[in-house]
Amino acid sequence: MKISVIGIGKVGSTAAFLMAMDGLAGELVLWNRSGSVARAEALDIQQACAFIPHRVGVRAGEAEDTAGSDILVMCASVPMSRDMADRSELARGNGALILELLPRFTALSPGAIIVNVTNPMDAITGRIQEVTGFPWQRVIGTGTLVDSARFRDLLSQQVGIHPLDLKAYILGEHGETQFAALSVATAGGEHIDATPARYRMLQEAKQSAFEVLRSKGYTNYAVAMAVRLIVESIARDLRYTLPVSVRMNGFCGVTDVCLSLPAVIGREGVHLVLNPDLDAQEQAAFRRCAEAVRSTLARMG
């Protein structure tokens, strides 16, 4: 398995480290505009591999060194301000960055699955699919996977059940219009009630990323763990069901934009997109998410 990470900032380097520690790739290639940064991170991660029972080759490289990758992890981004309040502020800059970078890398790895981390998540994931012409099943955004994890962590503290045993999803946009699909949330087959306190948890989970951003200038650990989980499900064909951003094809009447729904992820990318039985309020929220992403795409140009 060959994995290339494009953009070795805080998220890219952390994700590369996690994937190496789990032995998800026999060959891991790091690419960054600043080659010295990529070389330093590759050397550091390679030396850390001396402590693990996996054979992993980690190296920095030029675009040509990524040729034949099975998975391309897109982490490149224009700089973010600590005061950023909406991911759509990155739309124009990152939209241009995608147009500049992706054709080169996908031409070198035409059979790759792309895992996108670049924000604004849903608009960029859709733009990647359009620019590359890849089948939609092979273009996956991390979407609301990390939002769902943040929500489950808060919910876990209230109900006293481990987050992994809570089937509670944040769906729609990885952004301001995201919503908690509490009408279909369960634990052990028992329905999780939609209380005002639990809806407040959504707002707390939504704002937590910006709280971290304001304090330390970036978020990396939770996002990198989301990347690791998606890549693991692909590399080992585990068929995890994960709320990730994929192109919509009619759910709630939404087409031609990328949003998060529970999707089964395996060696070929997206094997199946599940259609949860949302209530009327949640269906309307999903459609609002689609309008928000279309607005961001228009802003991107």
pLDDT at 78 (0 to 100): 86
Q: 69 and 203 share a domain?
A: no
Q: What is the CATH number of the domain that holds 282?
A: 3.90.110.10
> Tens of pLDDT along 120-175?
999 999 999 999 999 999 999 999 999 999 999 999 999 999 999 999 999 999 99
SS3 32: coil
Tell me: the pLDDT tens digits for 70-117?
A: 999 999 998 887 777 678 788 899 999 999 999 999 999 999 999 999
Same domain, 35 and 17: yes
291 and 183, same structural domain?
yes
Least confident of 8-22, 56-70, 74-88: 74-88
**289 and 193 together in one domain:** yes
Q: How far apart are CA 248 and CA 165, in angstroms?
A: 27
Are 139 and 114 in contact by the 8 Å Cβ rule? The answer is yes
CATH code of the domain in which 48 resides? 3.40.50.720
Task: Read off the pLDDT of residues 220-246 as tens digits, 9 standing for 90 and up.
Answer: 999 999 999 999 999 999 999 999 999
pLDDT at 206: 84
Query: Residue 300 pLDDT more than 80?
Result: yes
Rg of the chain on CA atoms, in Å: 18
Strand order in the sheet with 27-31: 57-60, 27-31, 2-6, 71-74, 113-116, 139-141, 240-249, 255-266, 269-273
**Whether residue 167 is found in the same domain as residue 238:** yes
Which residues does residue 30 pair with via DSSP β-bridges, in sequence order? Answer: 5, 60
pLDDT band at 258 (very low <50, low <70, confident <90, very high): very high
Which of 170, 121, 165 is closest to 150 using CA atoms?
Answer: 170
Q: Which of 57, 53, 51, 58 is nearest to 8 (CA)?
A: 58
- Asked if 163 and 296 sit in the same domain, the reply is yes
Q: What value, to the nearest 5°, has the Cα angle with vertex 114 and ends 4 and 217?
A: 70
In terms of domains, do 37 and 15 share one?
A: yes
Structural domain that includes position 240 = 145-300
Same domain, 149 and 288: yes
Share of the chain above pLDDT 70, in %: 100
The mean pLDDT of 267-281, rounded to a whole number, is 97
The two tokens of residue 127 are 């733009």
191 is catalytic: no
CA 81, CA 27: separation in Å to the nearest integer? Answer: 33
Q: Are 192 and 168 in contact (CB under 8 A)?
A: yes
Say yes or no: 167 and 271 in one domain: yes
Contact 151, 180 (CB under 8 A): yes
Q: Report pLDDT for 210.
A: 85
pLDDT-derived band at 209 (thresholds 50, 70, 90) equals: confident
Which residue has tokens 């998410």?
289
- The strand ranges marked E within the chain are 2-6, 27-31, 57-60, 71-74, 113-116, 139-141, 166-167, 170-171, 179-180, 186-187, 190-191, 240-249, 255-266, 269-273
* Adjacent-strand bridge partners of 243: 262
Angle (deg, nearest 10), helices 35-48 and 10-21: 30
pLDDT in tens, 129-141: 999 999 999 999 9
Residues 107 and 149 in one domain: no
Same domain? For 112 and 217 the reply is no
Among 141, 167, 183, the domain-final residue is 141
AA letter at 272? L
Options 54, 162, 174, 191, the catalytic residue: 174
pLDDT at site 85: 67
Q: How many domains is the chain built from?
A: 2
Distance CA 296, CA 61 (A): 33
Nearest CA to 243 among 253, 233, 256?
Answer: 233
Distance from C-alpha of 32 to C-alpha of 191, rounded to nearest angstrom: 46
Determine the pLDDT at residue 235.
Answer: 98
pLDDT at 212: 84
Instruction: Please identify, among 141, 159, 191, the residue that sits at the C-terminal boundary of a domain.
Output: 141
